Structure 1
Amino acid sequence: MATLRESSKQHFSANNVPTLEQLNAGSLQRIADACEFMAKNHDQLVQERNQYRQWWYDAKAERDAAHKTIIGLRGQVGKLLARAKKAEGPR
């Protein structure tokens, strides 16, 4: 005989009718299987989200560090230009 899960999916004739309790047990088992599958999929989605979030934070930190470097180098360029202008003297 098929399992309750399989028998709850079948169409029955008047001769072969399972009890309502058997049908409910089979359908509840199918619902439980679907819930487990959804939970597994949800865990995978949460892990992917966490990975993308970590990549975003890493890229943001890298961008911020590069921005600070650029600001510092602009300051150095300004100092060098001022020093070069001062070394030239008045025209």
Structure 2
Amino acid sequence: MYLEYRLKHLYRTAWTSDYNNYKKSYLLGFLEGLDQRFKNQVQASEEFALMVQVPAEVLEEQRLRMGELKSRAVNITVELDHEAYIAGLEHAKETKLMSEELVE
């Protein structure tokens, strides 16, 4: 939902003939920026880290209900628009993730 919000505002400012690649490049930059923010947050709070051990019964119930969960990677080919990528990266670093505009 938040990415849809960002893209709606991006569309108004993006003057390009290949909007799809611009949009993909922006999203890649935005997601990379969020990833960097979360990694920094984890590093900053490592001294307060707490280890939680999940009981075997819970893991078995999860497996029965949801099957085997595997991480999946998706490979996409994007002709990277560096301007859009940098814009997405910077917006991710500056944005409030619970913006008042999204709550309304």
Same fold, TM-score > 0.5, yes or no? no
TM-score by length of 2: 0.32
TM-score by length of 1: 0.36
Structure with max Cα Rg: 1
More helix by share: 1
Q: Which is bigger in relative contact order (C-alpha 8 A, separation at least 6)?
A: 2
